[in-house]
Amino acid sequence: MPVLPASWRGSVISFMKKFKVGILGATGMVGQNYIKLLRNHPWFTVTHVAASANSAGVSYERSVAGRWQMPVPIPENVKSLIVADVANIKAAKKRCDFVFSAFELPDKNLIKKMEEKYAAAGIPVVSNASANRWTEDVPMLIPEINHRHLEIIPVQKINRGWKKGFIVTKPNCSLQSYITPIFAIIQAGYRIEKIFIATLQAVSGAGYPGVPSLDMIGNVVPFIAGEEDKTEEEPLKILGSIKKGKFANTNFLKISAHCNRVPVADGHLACVSFKFNGKKPKREEIIKIWQKFRALPQELELPFAPLRPIIYRREDNRPQPRKDRDAEKGMAVTIGRLRKCKIFDYKFAAISHNTVRGAAGGGILNAELLVKKGYIS
């Protein structure tokens, strides 16, 4: 076997086969990020792009003319791909091994039904959409936290009569700046019972064209539709368990959140206070827990897995979006300012890249784990 480049961690699969990948919602912001991040991926190559019927029938380059928002050119292998109607599942089946679902519709039930149609046709669906997050047999996956939730996939297939297809989704971007550090503490044997969070979320989280500039320049908007519910509720499923063929939420944790839109391009910052139930670690012990934290993606050396999932900065004024959102290629959580809280036990600030770890990059990591565990073949 040839010697692998050092940058291709865990990429032995690339010498056997590159998986053909489809992107549903390829013209939107999350879809564009997928195309940008996959351009040099050692395991995956984009062979199919799909969007609404209004965008279909022309080359990808033409379809996103004037709307390409990425800081790199459209990859050559994607430019000339003809955009398919997302409803044309037969075309996807001919061209790809699995799909990333990144399309949005006002009616979430339509997204849910479309993803189910793809899975029924034998196409695994790795979804960024919220439509199936609360489906009782669909994992809501953060690989460092709940990779064992993938064990429900065979049950999901039996429930639906699906042979090869299935659905796995990822959580909302708003919670990914704090849930991994919280999980690391819980995994170390400390029980956390209450969390209070204020998020400061970047404008890129609203897509393109997103929030009007006159609403954001020199301003903060203290409301993002649906974000507070997602921030408070989705961790309960992620930290929950599989019982009798469906997911059961954890019952030991309560979360309260304020979600704010701020005039920052990328990077969601969370200010977090938390309270223990029972024994409490010292401050330096918590920092060591974070610094030592590694999980299955790191053990498997998945290409998109950050070497350091959690980074702790000791400067008084960190983390900051511009300085810390790109840590570990945008896949790490950067934390700072861990200190005692006068109401709860401790508080800290943390940041993650909302369009990388919180969106397309997180979806890619999910797909890598699915491949490595044999669910996508």
Q: Are strands 84-85 and 44-51 parallel, antiparallel or unpaired?
A: parallel
Residue 123 and residue 375: Cα distance in Å, rounded?
11
Q: What angle do CA 167, 118, 40 make, to 5 degrees?
A: 75
Q: Which DSSP helix (H) or strand (E) runs through 255?
A: strand 254-261
Q: Mention every residue, 6+ apart, whose C-beta is less than 8 A from residue 80.
A: 59, 60, 61
What one-character-per-residue DSSP string does 297-316 give? HHHTT-TTS-SSSEEEE-ST
Residue 35 and residue 360: Cα distance in Å, rounded?
9
State yes or no: is 41 an active-site residue: no
CA distance to 155, 179, 226, 282, 336, per residue, from 351 (Å): 35, 11, 20, 22, 9
Measured from the Cβ of residue 299, the count of other Cβ atoms closer than 10 Å reads 10
**Active-site pick, 173, 258, 271, 341:** 173
CA distance to 112, 236, 237, 373, per residue, from 255 (Å): 27, 9, 13, 32
Q: What angle do CA 245, 135, 232 make, to 5 degrees?
A: 110
**Active-site pick, 268, 271, 341, 353:** 268
Helix, strand, coil share (%) of the chain residues, nearest 5: 35, 20, 45
Q: Which DSSP helix (H) or strand (E) runs through 77?
A: helix 76-79
The answer to whether the CB of 119 falls within 8 A of the CB of 166 is yes
State yes or no: is 268 an active-site residue: yes
What one-character-per-residue DSSP string does 200-212 give? EE-GGGG-SS-S-
Q: Which residues are catalytic?
A: 173, 268
